[in-house]
């Protein structure tokens, strides 16, 4: 008779301390981070993201706080745009989310909801008080009271989130309530800078001795501060100035600080890369998924569509759009995205042609699962791998396209862009900074995304698991 073997205490402790098997995404993430190319690329991309988020904090002509004629005010807060507020709040909430990873799902959702409700309440209260000071009637006061009542009621509702039995119910409740609160907060909030911004007022007030004290950003020049008052005040032409302590990279042909425009240009580069690529990926997944799942005449029609869009010259199309409709950043994003989905569609089509015969897809179809669920919940997670790799190269391509357009003089005028600075360098003899720094920024950004793409392709390769 065989005697049962009882595990010892040491063996039980070893089993408890043994690491749990990681998911596929966790294994891919570890292999990705383990490559030096990915580390370098991600470090540069993270630096660009931080520069884009904190651009108004790092480079702005508006003092954070100053005291003029006995009054303390914050011109910097008054001139924040809605984009500035959204980016700063998004980074703050992302940090909070990472800090709450070890807590339960209900607790995390409750904290998110409380923070969002608080921010929306502050925005609504600020707007109501602004209206109250302007109009001096009972309307804004009533709005303020109604908003506070609504927020208090929502806070009481959000308290119940951690105690709901189903995680799905908690998620739906949190998303719905947070969406309503955020929409209401920004509806009531008046987050917009003044229509006419006069940068020279700060320098004139300082020269006149009206400023008792002030706290300035690290670089006290906004990207569109052309310092036109400097010529009349000091007789010094601010245009194409050499690098100094005040202007570390000098000024451009309009008198704007080059470093300030370099910092703020990161927003254009990241926005056009991510949004244009997002549009292209969404269209490619939709068209490629339908082609691969249905095959037959749908595949034939889709391939003809792929051939048509593959023949469209993107740069010439953008030049034509700019000539007819003017220089619009959002229109550029849409055009780059609409014409760049072909590669993603081909990859998704190939994956779906392979997956459509798998047993789990046939079982889902036999059970009457809706088509969208089969495509996007069952097949897409197993076929999206090549798209993720291609998307990193697509972001780099979109940044290059925008830089090329700006270099040709057909990009944005007021908004700073790296390609725009390179365009000015052609007419600025001796200003080597206008050539080197924007060109180096474009090169490093495209190189970083290519490094991440190469590392991701290696990490997703099953043969690299060993």
Q: Vertex 305, ends 300 and 309: CA angle to 5°?
A: 150
DSSP 281-342: HHHHHHHHHHHHHH-HHHHHHHHHHHHHHHT--HHHHHHHHHHHH---HHHHHHHHHHHS-H
Q: pLDDT under 50 in the chain at which residues?
A: 1, 12, 15-18, 20-21, 136-138, 140
User: Are the beta carbons of 285 and 348 closer than 8 angstroms?
Assistant: yes
CA pair distance 446, 450, nearest whole angstrom = 6
CA pair distance 40, 430, nearest whole angstrom = 32
Give the tens place of pLDDT for each residue, 176-211.
665 665 555 555 555 566 667 778 888 888 888 888
Note the pLDDT of residue 52: 93
Sheet of strand 65-68: strand arrangement: 71-73, 65-68, 211-215
Note the pLDDT of residue 16: 47
Angle between helices 138-159 and 167-188 (to 10 degrees): 170
150 token code pair: 């609504």
Note the pLDDT of residue 208: 82
Q: Would you list the domain boundaries of the chain?
A: 81-188, 258-465
CATH of domain 258-465: 1.10.3720.10
Reference 322, options 309, 312, 332, 311; nearest CA is 332
pTM of the model: 0.79
Note the pLDDT of residue 425: 84
Note the pLDDT of residue 17: 47
User: Are the beta carbons of 140 and 132 closer than 8 angstroms?
Assistant: yes
């Amino acid at each position: 008779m065989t005697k049962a073997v009882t595990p010892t205490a040491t063996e039980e402790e070893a089993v408890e301390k043994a690491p749990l098997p990681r998911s596929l995404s966790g294994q891919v993430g570890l292999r990705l981070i383990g490559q030096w190319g990915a580390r370098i690329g991600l470090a540069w991309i993270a630096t660009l993201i931080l520069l884009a988020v904190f651009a108004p904090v790092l480079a702005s002509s508006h003092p954070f706080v100053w005291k003029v004629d006995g009054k303390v005010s914050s011109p910097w807060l008054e001139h924040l745009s809605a984009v500035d507020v959204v980016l700063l709040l998004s980074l703050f909430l992302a940090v909070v989310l990472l800090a709450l990873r070890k807590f339960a799902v209900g607790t995390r959702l409750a904290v998110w909801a409380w923070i969002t409700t608080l921010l929306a309440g502050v925005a609504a209260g600020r707007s109501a008080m602004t209206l109250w000071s302007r109009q001096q009637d009972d309307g804004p006061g009533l709005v303020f009271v109604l908003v506070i009542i609504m927020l208090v009621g929502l806070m009481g509702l959000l308290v119940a989130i951690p105690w709901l039995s189903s995680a799905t119910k908690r998620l739906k409740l949190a998303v719905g309530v947070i969406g309503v609160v955020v929409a209401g907060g920004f509806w009531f909030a008046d987050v917009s800078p003044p229509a006419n911004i006069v940068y020279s007022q700060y320098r004139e007030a300082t020269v006149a001795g009206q400023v008792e004290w002030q706290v300035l950003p690290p670089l006290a020049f906004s990207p569109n501060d052309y310092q036109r008052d400097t010529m009349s005040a000091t007789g010094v032409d601010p245009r194409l100035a050499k690098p100094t302590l005040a202007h570390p990279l000098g000024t451009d042909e309009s008198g704007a600080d080059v470093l300030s425009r370099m910092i703020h240009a990161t927003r254009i580069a990241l926005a056009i890369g991510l949004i244009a690529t997002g549009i292209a990926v969404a269209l490619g997944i939709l068209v490629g998924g339908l082609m691969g799942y249905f095959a037959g005449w749908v595949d034939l029609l889709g391939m003809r569509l792929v051939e048509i869009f593959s023949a469209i010259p993107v740069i010439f199309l953008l030049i034509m759009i700019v000539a007819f409709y003017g220089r619009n950043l959002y229109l550029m994003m849409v055009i780059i995205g609409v014409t760049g989905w072909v590669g993603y569609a081909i990859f998704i089509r190939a994956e779906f042609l392979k997956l459509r015969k798998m047993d789990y897809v046939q079982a889902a179809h036999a059970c009457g699962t809706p088509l969208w669920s089969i495509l996007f919940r069952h097949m897409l997670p197993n076929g999206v791998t090549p798209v993720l790799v291609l998307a990193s190269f697509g972001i780099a391509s979109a940044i290059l396209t925008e830089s090329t357009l700006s270099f040709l003089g057909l990009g944005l005028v007021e908004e700073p862009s790296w390609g725009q600075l390179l365009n000015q360098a052609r007419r600025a003899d001796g200003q080597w900074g206008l050539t080197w720094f924007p060109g180096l920024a474009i090169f490093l950004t495209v190189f970083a995304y290519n490094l991440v793409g190469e590392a991701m392709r290696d990490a997703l390769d099953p043969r690299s698991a060993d």
